[in-house]
Amino acid sequence: MERIRAHLAGLAGPFAGRDARAAARAIMTTDTVPKVAEAAVGAARVVGIAKGVGMIEPDMATLITLFVTDAEVPVGELDSRFRRVVDRTFNALSIDTDTSTSDTAAVMASGAAGPVDLDALERALHEVALSLTRQVARDGEGATKLLVVRVELARDEGQARRVAKAIVNSPLVKTAVHGADPNWGRVAMAVGKCSGETDVRQDDVVIRFGDQEVYPGPVDESGLAALTAYMKGDEVRIEVALHTGAAAFTVYGCDLSAGYVRINADYTT
């Protein structure tokens, strides 16, 4: 803790990239890489570090993230804007559905760089948080790919979030992504897992992998070739339009690999 505190004191001063990286490294547990991101907001900067690779549900859990900025910002504004950012980034992340305690997202502002535009600050906080969220998902236990699931045209944000979480957490979707298989049937299955969403009609659902519509399709041969190439990349984006309304939500996760099993089956208490 002393060591972390010393690093943070370093961060809050000159924001030296090396210090942020050292702090990010100091809080690593089974992370394979330190996670750091930063953004400028006027003359000020926002720097964030994070650690976490599993047990991220329901909200952050073993994920710990610390932000510092030298912007001058009223505490109430910093609190409410940071909470809004966290809800769309760290709270939209899932590795394996399992849960834990300890979730922490903290932000500290020194004021040294003077006042900044508050909307610009919120955008900078969001940029840093989103980068860290993607880094955590990509470094999920055993992960070989980042999986981004966006559900849109939903009745409300809650519906979009529930459906997106069902997709990103489905073992069969996660293994299909691992195997680079554009298996829209499994995505449709995961939508169907949300039995409470009685206003969702299968005939109205549209599913895309990247920019390619796969359902209702059809996908022609050149589309299939492009799709196969896309699925082999290290980031896969699945988009689902429900056509029950106008709300959207995006969640972040990863594929399910034999590496995940190895890490968690070999671990002994």
**Beta 206-209 vs 146-154: how paired, if at all?**
unpaired
Binding flag, residue 254, its own copies (CB under 8 A): no
Residue list 70-109, contact with its own copies (CB under 8 A):
96-100
Q: With CB under 8 A as the contact rule, which of the stretches 14-22, 39-47, 191-199, 236-244 interacts with its own copies?
A: 191-199
Compose the 26-55 pattern: x for residues touching its own copies by CB under 8 A, - for all others: ----------------------------xx
User: In the complex, what is the shortest distance from the CB of residue 57 to its own copies, in angstroms, rounded to a whole number?
Assistant: 8
**Beta 44-51 vs 64-69: how paired, if at all?**
antiparallel
Neighbours of 151 (CB within 10 A): 27
Of residues 190, 207, 227, 251, which one binds its own copies by CB under 8 A?
190
Binding flag, residue 181, its own copies (CB under 8 A): yes
Of residues 65, 183, 244, 250, which one binds its own copies by CB under 8 A?
183
List all residues 6 or more positions away from 226 whose beta carbon is below 8 Å from its beta carbon.
Answer: 212
Q: How far apart are CA 154 and CA 165, in angstroms?
A: 14
**Beta 104-109 vs 64-69: how paired, if at all?**
parallel
Q: How far apart are CA 162 and CA 171, in angstroms?
A: 16
Q: Known catalytic residue: 198?
A: no
Of residues 186, 197, 240, 244, which one binds its own copies by CB under 8 A?
186
User: In the complex, what is the shortest distance from the CB of residue 170 to its own copies, in angstroms, rounded to a whole number?
Assistant: 6
Residue from 29, 32, 62, 65 carrying the catalytic annotation: 62
User: In the complex, what is the shortest distance from the CB of residue 187 to its own copies, in angstroms, rounded to a whole number?
Assistant: 11
Q: How far apart are CA 252 and CA 212, in angstroms?
A: 19
User: In the complex, what is the shortest distance from the CB of residue 55 to its own copies, in angstroms, rounded to a whole number?
Assistant: 7
Q: Measuring CA to CA, how many Å separate 208 from each of 128, 213, 226, 227, 238?
A: 27, 4, 13, 10, 6
Per residue, the 3-state secondary structure of 248-269, as one string, reads EEEEEEECCCHHHHHHHHHCCC
Binding flag, residue 182, its own copies (CB under 8 A): yes
Of residues 74, 171, 217, 233, which one binds its own copies by CB under 8 A?
171
**Strands (DSSP E) found in the chain:** 35-41, 44-51, 64-69, 104-109, 146-154, 206-209, 212-215, 235-241, 247-254
Catalytic residues: 62
Which positions lie near its own copies, rule CB under 8 A? 54-55, 57-58, 96-100, 170-172, 175-176, 178-179, 181-186, 189-190, 192-193, 195, 256-258, 260-262, 264-269
